Amino acid sequence: MTHGAPNDPYDDLDAFEAWDDRSLSQRAMAAAPTPWLEGLNTPQREAAETLDGPVLVLAGAGTGKTRALTCRIAQILASGRAKPWQVLAVTFTNKAAREMKGRLGQLIGPSVEGMSWMGTFHSLCVKILRRHAELAGLENGFTILDTDDQLRLIKQLLEAERIDHKRWPPRQLANLIDRWKNRAWTPAHVPAEEASAFNRRGVELYDAYQQRLRTLNAVDFGDLLLHVVEIFRNNPDVLETWRDRFRYILVDEYQDTNVAQYLWLRLLAGQRANICCVGDDDQSIYGWRGAEVGNILRFEKDFPGAKVVRLEQNYRSTPHILAAASSVIHANENRLGKTLWTEEEAGEKVRLIGHWDGEEEARWIGEEIEALEKGTRGLDPVNPDHMAILVRASFQMRAFEDRFLTIGMPYRVIGGPRFYERKEIRDAMAYFRCVTNPGDGMAFERIVNTPKRGVGDKAQSTINEFSRANEIGPLDATATLLADGAFKGKAAKSLEDLLAMLARWRARLEAGENHVELAEAILDESGYTDMWKADKSPDAPGRLENLKELVKALEGFENLEGFLEHVSLVMENEQEDGQPKVSIMTLHAAKGLEFPCVFLPGWEDGLFPSQRSMDESGLAGLEEERRLAYVGITRAEKLCTISFAANRAIHGRWQSALPSRFIDELPEAHVEVLTPPGLYGGNYGAAGHGAQRSGGSGGFGGNFGGGGNFGGGSRLEEAATRSDAYNSPGWKRMQANAGRRGMRAPTEARNLVIDAEAVCPFNVGDRVFHQKFGYGTVEYAEGDKVTVAFEKAGEKRVVARFLSAPDDIPF
C-alpha cells in the first residue's frame, strides 16, 4: 500500500511504537479545551458529543451535518478514546475525504495524518481486501477493473458462450451483476426469484464471470465490497480483528449507501455499535446505482437505542435559495419532510433564464461568469473558485469547456470526462498493468496489438480461449501457445518480442528501478509513443501531451502499483495549480459541496428530469430527479441561476425541448426571470429585428410576455444595464402573459438568434417534415429559422436544417 499514512501501525509497525511514545501528547490533548464544539449549535453538539452508541443525524442540506461529523472525530480523538487509525470515517468521494482531513487538521493538528481509514467505501475496502486477498481467492497484486474492462470481459464471456450480443447485450448482464453485487449477493446468494434473469442464464454467467475474474486476478468495483463482506461473513476471526480495530465508525451521506455497504457497516459496527451516520433522505440520488434510502430510515430499528438528532438551521444559503429548494422538493410524495430556516440575509432571488439553444446558454453563462468575476453585476467580485456549473448529463459539459477555452476562463472538470479515461492514457495504463500484474488479461488484450504488431483477431481469440479453457493468465497462455507453435510468421515473432519486453520490464520493476523512468521506457520501447508520433491525425499531438502528463503524474507516487490504484479509485480530475478556476461537474458529483455562485443549466424536460430515469423507474425515477434538483439548488450560497434552452443538440441531433417541470415548481416570490442583456442587446437592438419579430408569427407574442418583455428595440437596449435586466417583467408578468402551461410551451418566443445570412431553402406554403413534430406547412421563413404549422404538434419555430421536404424522406 502506498496510501497508508505513515502513522498507521498496520502499515508500519515501527511507526506504531513511535506513536505510542507520542501518545503522551494525545493524552495532553484530552485535557485540552475543545474549541471546535463552540462553533456548533446545540443539536450539532449533541451529535458531536454523544460518543457511545449509535447516533443518526437526519437533516436537510446545509444544516452542518458534515461539520458535526468532523467535529465528532475531533472530539473522539481529543477524548483519547481512540487513536486516529482506530476511527473509520466513510465519505462519499475521495475529494470529500481530503477536504474533511484538511478541516480536521485545522482542528486537531498533525495527528490527523494518522487518520488512515478515512475514505470512500471503495478505497477502504481495497485496503482491507489487499490484506486478505487470499480469502477471496485472489493474489495480493489484484487489478481493479473499470467499467470499460468489465464490459469487455463480459463480452468475451458471452462470445465464448455463443450468446447473441444483439438480443442479450453485454451491458445488460453487466448491470444485472452490478445490481446483485450491490445487494451483496454472490452467485450462490442470488435468490430464486431472479432465476429468470438474462434469459435464465444470469446466475450461471455471473458465476462464470466471477471465476474468470479470479483467473485474471482482478476485481470489479462491486467486488471490492462484496469480497470484503464475504470475508467478514465467512471468517469470524478476521471480522473480530477489524471490529476490534475500528472503535468508532462515522458515515457521511448515509442516504446513498447500498445494501452491501450497509451490511459492511453493520458487520463492522458489531455489538459496540459506536456508529454515527449522517444524511438527508431528500438527497438520495444514487438509487439507480443501488442505493437504498431505506437504510437511513431503518437506522433506529437496526441500532436500537440510537440517538436521532435533527438539524434545522441552514448555514449555507440565502432564504430565497432555500425557499426555492424547499418548494421543489415539496412536490415529492415520498419523503419525511423537514423544516429548514436560516438567519442569512435575503440576498438575490434565484434567477431564471431561457435561451434559444445550448450554445447560447453556454455563451451567456460564460459572459455572466466574467461579469461576476469583474464585479460588474452589482455584487462584489466573485473569485472563479467560488463559481460552479452543475449539469445533469456530462455531455452538457463540452459546451462550457469550449466556451471557457475560447474566452480564456480557467476551469476544472470534477468527475467528468476524465483524463484517465482517454484512449492513450488507458493504453499506457494497460501496459503498466501488464507489468505489475501479469495475470491481467484485460490489459493484455488492450495492448497485444497496440501499436499494430500483426497479431490479428484470430490470434487474440486463440489466446483468450486457451487462457479461459486452462484457467491461466494470458501471458502464460501466449507462452504455451508459442512453444506449441500455434502462431506463425509475424504474429509469432511479435508475440515473442512482446513477452520478452514484458518480462524485461517486470524484472526492472522487481529490481526496484525508478517507476517514472520505467514508465517512460515502457512507452518508448513498446513503440507506443512512436505510434502517436507517426500518427498524422489532428489529435495525435494532444495525445502525446497527455502521455507526458501521465508520466508527470507518476512522479507524485511511490511506485507504479500505487499510481494504478489511485487511478482506478480516484478517477477525479485534480490537476491543481493554484489558479482560481470555475468548477464544472455533474449534479451527482456536487453532493456535499457548496459554492457562492451556482449555475444550473439545461433545465429541460427529458434532460432534467431525465427521460431515461422516468422511463425506467416511473414516479420513483422522477422523484429521484427532483432530489437531484434539490441537491443542485442547495449547493448555492448566494446566487443561484437556473437556465434552459429551447433547442439542444443531444448526441449530434437537435431536439426541441420544454422547460423542465421543476421550473413550474419554483416559488414565484423567490424567483426573478432575467432578460439577458448581452443576448438581446445585440440582436434585438438591431434595426428591423423587432419589427420582423412581432410581424413574424403569433408564436413570438406568446410566451415571455410578448411586446412588453421582448418587444421593442429600445427597451431591450435599456436592458443592457443591470437594473433593467433584473427588473424584467418578472415571474408574475410572465405568468400573467403566458400562464404556467404557456411557460412550458416549446420554441415560440425564445431569444431567437437568427442567422440572417442563411438562405432558407423553404418558401411559405411548402409542406415539410420534421423528425420530431412530423408534417407541417411553412408559415414564415427568416434566415435559417422557419415557423411551421405542424399538423399534430401545432405551430413551432424550428431550425431549417432539421426540416426536409416530404419527398426526401426515405420510407
Give the residue numbers marked as catalytic: 65-66, 252-253, 283, 635
Instruction: Choose the stretch contacting Mg ion; rule: CB under 5 A; options: 25-33, 411-419, 475-483, 589-597.
Output: 589-597
Q: Whole-number minimum distance, CB 277 to ligand ATP, in Å?
A: 12
Please report whether residue 464 would count as binding Mg ion according to CB under 5 A: no
How many CB atoms within 10 Å of residue 397?
19
d(CA 603, CA 669): 19
Question: Which residue, among 199, 208, 124, has the nearest Cα to 163 in the 3D structure?
Answer: 199
Q: Whole-number minimum distance, CB 62 to ligand ATP, in Å?
A: 4
344-360 burial string, b = 16+ CB within 10 Å, else e?
Answer: beebbbbbbbbbbbbbb
Q: Whole-number minimum distance, CB 65 to ligand ATP, in Å?
A: 3
- Looking at the Cβ atoms of 63 and 215, the one nearer to Mg ion is 63
Q: DSSP letters along 738-761, please? A: HHHHHHT--STTS-----TTSPPS
Please report whether residue 283 would count as binding Mg ion according to CB under 5 A: no
**Total residues contacting Mg ion (rule CB under 5 A)?**
3
Q: DSSP letters along 337-393, please? A: ----B--S---SPEEEEEEEEHHHHHHHHHHHHHHHHHTTTSS----GGGEEEEESS
Please report whether residue 315 would count as binding ligand ATP according to CB under 6 A: yes
Among 12, 34, 37, 41, which residue sits at the site for ligand ATP (rule: CB under 6 A)? 41
d(CA 186, CA 263): 14
Residues 630-689 that bind ligand ATP (CB under 6 A): 634
Say how far residue 405 (Cα) sits from the centre of its chain. 22
- Looking at the Cβ atoms of 26 and 283, the one nearer to ligand ATP is 283
* Residue with the shortest CB distance to ligand ATP: 64
Please report whether residue 44 would count as binding ligand ATP according to CB under 6 A: yes
φ, ψ at 253 (rounded to 5°): 55, 45
Q: Which stretch of DSSP H or E encloses residue 733?
A: helix 730-743
The beta-carbon contacts of 463-470 under 8 Å, at least 24 apart in sequence, are: 464/156, 464/160, 465/160, 467/215, 467/441, 468/156, 468/160, 468/212, 468/215
Burial of 27 (0-12, 13-18, 19+ CB in 10 A): exposed
Where do runs of H (alpha helix) occur along 183-220?
202-215
Question: Which residue, among 36, 42, 35, has the nearest Cα to 313 in the 3D structure?
Answer: 42
- Looking at the Cβ atoms of 62 and 354, the one nearer to Mg ion is 62
Q: Which does 316 bind (CB under 5 to 8 A by kind): ligand ATP, Mg ion, none?
A: ligand ATP
Q: Whole-number minimum distance, CB 140 to ligand ATP, in Å?
A: 36
| Polymer length in residues for the chain | 811
DSSP 666: S
Among 287, 290, 592, 621, which residue sits at the site for Mg ion (rule: CB under 5 A)? 592
Binding mask 61-100 for ligand ATP (x = CB under 6 A): xxxxxxx---------------------------------
Answer for the pair 634, 61: CB distance below 8 angstroms, yes or no: yes
Q: Which does 172 bind (CB under 5 to 8 A by kind): ligand ATP, Mg ion, none?
A: none
Please report whether residue 54 would count as binding ligand ATP according to CB under 6 A: no
- Looking at the Cβ atoms of 336 and 809, the one nearer to ligand ATP is 336
Q: Which does 804 bind (CB under 5 to 8 A by kind): ligand ATP, Mg ion, none?
A: none
Residues 271-290 that bind ligand ATP (CB under 6 A): 280, 283
- Looking at the Cβ atoms of 8 and 594, the one nearer to ligand ATP is 594
Q: Whole-number minimum distance, CB 60 to ligand ATP, in Å?
A: 7
Please report whether residue 447 would count as binding ligand ATP according to CB under 6 A: no
φ, ψ at 679 (rounded to 5°): -70, -50
d(CA 581, CA 665): 32
Which residues, 6 or more positions from 757, have their beta carbon under 8 angstroms from its beta carbon?
783
DSSP 63: S
Q: Whole-number minimum distance, CB 66 to Mg ion, in Å?
A: 3
d(CA 73, CA 71): 5
Instruction: Choose the stretch contacting Mg ion; rule: CB under 5 A; options: 60-68, 639-647, 712-720, 790-798.
Output: 60-68
- Looking at the Cβ atoms of 66 and 111, the one nearer to Mg ion is 66
Please report whether residue 66 would count as binding Mg ion according to CB under 5 A: yes
Is residue 198 left, alpha or beta, with left meaning phi > 0 and alpha meaning psi from -120 to 50?
left
Residues 558-617 that bind ligand ATP (CB under 6 A): 592, 594
Residues 185-214 that bind Mg ion (CB under 5 A): none
Instruction: Choose the stretch contacting Mg ion; rule: CB under 5 A; options: 45-53, 58-66, 324-332, 765-773.
Output: 58-66
- Looking at the Cβ atoms of 41 and 461, the one nearer to ligand ATP is 41
Residues that bind ligand ATP (CB under 6 A): 39-41, 44, 61-67, 280, 283, 315-316, 592, 594, 634
Residues that bind Mg ion (CB under 5 A): 65-66, 592
